[in-house]
Amino acid sequence: MKIGILGGTFNPIHIGHLILAEEAREKLSLDKVIFVPAYLPPHKENGDIISAAKRINMLRLAIKTNPFFSVSDIEIKRKGKSYTIDTLKEFKKVYPKDKLYFITGSDLLKYLDEWKDLKQVIRAVKFIVATRPGYPLEKIPSYIKTVAIRAVDISAFEIRKAIKTKRSFRYLVLEAVYSYITKNRLYR
């Protein structure tokens, strides 16, 4: 099997994440895509991150109608900072004969030099970077394969900011996620 792994904070998950996962799945002929929410992302400030349980709930709501998508709580259960290499080692144990594709957006390329055990990450998976508006693909290392996806300029930061300033974010997330955020008064 060909399995895509899409890590992120998903704070909250939005349609940009879903479009990225679906287009990567289709263009790379993946059998499934597993969303892996980080417990504590090493490259982000953690003050604005809601609980892992709420982020997983939103993820499950967002992907429930897509039979090719699933959610793994591996990083949540492990707690602490979520390093890609640690997650990939676990996935290699669960899927020893499958081909793993680690999918990320081009916005994370600027942090590559800071990744823990990057050489091991590169050996463990096919490293896929998807284009993202505002983050041009420059100086791409040879071990990275790029996938052009539909330009969707949405960020979780913008959504949280809209909520805090009482502006609409309704069509930036799926309706089920919108209802969950509203009902639970998240990001206020």
Q: Is 122 part of a structural domain of the chain?
A: yes
Q: Is 128 part of a structural domain of the chain?
A: yes
Q: What's the sign of the alpha-carbon dihedral 2, 33, 157, 50?
A: negative
Q: Is 136 part of a structural domain of the chain?
A: yes
Q: Is 92 part of a structural domain of the chain?
A: yes
Higher per-residue pLDDT: 145 or 4: 4
Q: Is 49 part of a structural domain of the chain?
A: yes
Please count the structural domains in the chain.
Answer: 1
- Neighbour order of strands in the sheet with 32-37: 69-71, 32-37, 2-8, 99-105, 126-130, 144-147
Q: What are the φ and ψ backbone dihedral angles of 113, each rounded to 5 degrees?
A: -60, -20
Q: What is the pLDDT of residue 47?
A: 67
Task: Tell me the pLDDT tens digit for each residue of 37-78.
Answer: 998 877 666 568 999 999 999 999 999 999 999 999 999 999
Q: Is 172 part of a structural domain of the chain?
A: no
Q: Which domain holds residue 54?
A: 2-152
> Quick check: 171 pLDDT over 70?
yes
Q: Is 183 part of a structural domain of the chain?
A: no
Task: Tell me the pLDDT tens digit for each residue of 105-163.
Answer: 777 777 777 888 988 888 889 988 887 666 666 667 777 888 888 878 888 999 999 99
Q: Is 124 part of a structural domain of the chain?
A: yes
CATH code: domain of residue 37:
3.40.50.620
Q: What is the pLDDT of residue 44?
A: 64
